[in-house]
Every structure is written in structure tokens, then in C-alpha cells.
Amino acid sequence: MGVRQKVIFSAFLAVTLLLSIALVSAAEIKPEEWAHPECIASVEELKSAIGNPDYIIIDASKTKPDKTVKGAIWISFKNLRQPNGLLKGIKCYPAKEGEFDSSELEKIFRQLGVSEGKTVIFVSSGDVTDAIVAWFALYFLGFDKAKVFPVKCTVLGDKYLAPVEKEWSSDWPETGTFKVDPTKIRWDMYATPDEVRAAMDDPSTAIVDVRPESYYKGEVSKTIRGGHLKTAINYVFSNFWEDGTKETSLKSKTALEAEVSKILPKDKIKKVITTCNTGHKAMSGFFFWQLGYKWEVDDASWNLHAFNGVMPAEDVKVQISYADYKSLKDKVESLKSELESLKSEVSKLKEKAAVKGAPGFTILSAIGAVALLLVLRRIVK
């Protein structure tokens, strides 16, 4: 064998080895080892669900994936949440049991074919938390046979993947029979502001902020102020996977327990409330739940807490002062008023232009343009 052939053969072996490692890692998902095995789908179960009428596979990736599991329905998890980040149906915040309307979520899941007797597996080609958000919405409503595939579904390989064939639309007919029973809604998994506040004084409950450290410390923020909830511990969501944000290899239960017990000793901590920016990454608390802790998600998370300013917080760094905010708001209102005035002037100019032979229109138009530029310059300053 020549040198060139040896190099090619060595490269082939290396690639084959890497692929084998990836497949073995994915195959090592063992639901029976976790605290709630009924909510985790293994590689084998996901493969067997393809084409099986007793299963529904839902890809909840935020954006439409190039490829997903064959036969899966794609619906972005964002369709299950409100623009403010809260779960659809939560009428206000703080949320109360009597102020939740499940009808919109029920309709969507019925459109997706969810019925009693079927098993629903949620997957994601993007962030695994996309899948957990969608799973939580259905499980919260009291549907028991809902599962999460805990790594990116792309680990299955091309044999089991295909371009999206079914894309949910709001005008789909309701083919499923799922009916929400209000008595089965899992409010014990949804953290209210009172519960979050109480956790700060409860040594048996931990608040875990799963955002990157820079957000936790208030150095970076997507809202008017940075920081974190008082007493919150930082454990970044990507720590649940061997390969971090690639999310293709879940850490073993044994490894995760050894790591998590250092910050959440089970002889002291019984319940975990997870929080983030919008409630999205906080869904990674699913894995604390799988380790045996009671788990609640702070659906509002920092974006809402930062705005209302009621919840005790630490490492608070104001990104924009109230004085600057008010000044900016006043400038915007002034701009709106002047723009309305300009619209009126332009309308008058158009009327004059419609009159045949109306003199001076070009000059007036130029004056109007200059006036608009002056207003814009003023705002920029």
C-alpha cells in the first residue's frame, strides 16, 4: 500500500471511528435510569415511532430545519408561547390557576393529532430546549404520554431524516381528540411569583439560573437591567450535555448526579426552580427533574422580573436609566407629533399638485424635504 493510500485509509478509519462514537453516545440514552423514564424517548423508540400510527413525532425547532425525523410535524415552539414569552393561555402575571385559558393550546395539539392512546415524542433539530418547551406545554396540560428526545435528532443519521414534509398551520383541522381536564393541569410544575419569592427564604428550595455567566452577573442583558434573582445559583444549561451547546451527547445520569450534587446536595435541596431570560432555556430544568428533584419553571424569568422590579435581585446593573428612558420616550412622542404635522403638509402639497398648472410645487416639496431632514437630525442629536 502506497503512502497516499495509507493516508486515505487512515482518514477513513478516523471518520468511521468518530461516527461510531457519536452513534454510541446517542444510543446510550437509557430512559430506565432516570427518575421519570416515561418522559424520555430512546434512540430505538424514536426510530420505531417513524411510520407507527400509535406515535406522533413533533419537531419543535424554533426555525424550520433543513432535515428532521421522517414523518415528523414541524411547529416552532414559539407558536405555543405568547410574544412576551409566557405560555399561551396565561392571561396575566402573576399567574393564577383560575386565570388560565387552555383552549388555544388544546386546539393546537388537537390539530397536531394528539389523542388519548397515542404517544407524542418531541424532538428538535436545533436547541433541545425547543423540544422541552413544547413537551412542557402538553405535559402541563395533563397529557401523560409525552416524551422528550434529549439530544438533537440529527444524531439519528440521514437514513432516518428527511426534509420537513408536514408544517403546522393555524388553519389545520382538529384531527386529534385530546381534551384538557382542568383537574389534571400540573400547576405544581409552574412557579408563581409567590413561590419564587418564598424559595429565597427556603433552604430546601434552590433557584437555578441557567443563563451564561455573563448574563447571570449582569454584565450582559437583553432588557433594561442585568442581574439575577436573589439567592439564585448559576448552572449553565449547556452543562447537561457532554458536548455543550452541540447537544448531541447527553451526560450519563451518574456523571450528572456527581456534578449537580456539588451545588444541589440532595440531603438539603428537594426542589429546584429554574429561570433564564424568557423561560425558554429554563426548560432545561427537565434534567434536574430527571435526577429526582421536584422541579418548577419560572415562566416569566428575568425579562419580566427586570421590568417590574418587584422581585429581590442581585448583581443588578442598569443598562438604561429611567431618566434616559423617559428622555428617549419624550423625543419619540415629539417625533410622532412632528411627523403627523409633516404628513398634513405633504397631503396639502399633493392636493395642490393635482391642480393643473399649480405653481411652485417643486419648491414647496424641496422645503418639505429639508424640514423632514432637520427633524431627523434633531432626533439623532
Give residue-wise pLDDT tens across range 154-210.
999 999 999 999 999 999 999 999 999 999 999 999 998 899 999 999 999 999 999
Whether the predicted pLDDT of 378 surpasses 80? no
Residue whose C-alpha cell reads 412557579 in the numeric block? 191
Q: What architecture (CATH level 2) is domain 30-186?
A: 3-Layer(aba) Sandwich (3.40)
Residue 55 in grid coordinates: 406515535
| Residue 335 pLDDT level (bands cut at 50, 70, 90) | confident
Residue 310 in grid coordinates: 418587584
Q: Are 30-186 and 191-319 the same fold in CATH?
A: yes
Provide the percentage of residues in the chain whose pLDDT is more than 90: 66
Lowest mean pLDDT among 6-10, 60-64, 314-318: 6-10
- Stated pTM of the model: 0.78
Query: Which run of H or E residues covers position 23?
Result: helix 3-27
Whether the predicted pLDDT of 370 surpasses 60? no
- Cα distance between residue 279 and residue 304, in whole Å: 10
Residue 83 DSSP SS3: coil
Classify strands 205-209 and 225-229 as parallel, antiparallel or unpaired.
unpaired
| Residue-range domain boundaries for the chain | 30-186, 191-319, 323-380
Distances (CA, A) of 14 to 118, 158, 159, 249, 262: 41, 20, 21, 19, 36
pLDDT by residue (tens digit) across 226-241? Answer: 999 999 999 999 999 9
Fold of 191-319: Oxidized Rhodanese; domain 1 (3.40.250)
Q: Which residues contact 268 (CB under 8 A, 6 or more apart)?
A: 203, 204
Residue 113 DSSP SS3: coil
Residue 20 is predicted with a pLDDT of 43
| Residue 9 pLDDT level (bands cut at 50, 70, 90) | very low
E-assigned strands of 210-351?
Answer: 225-229, 233-234, 271-275, 294-297, 313-318
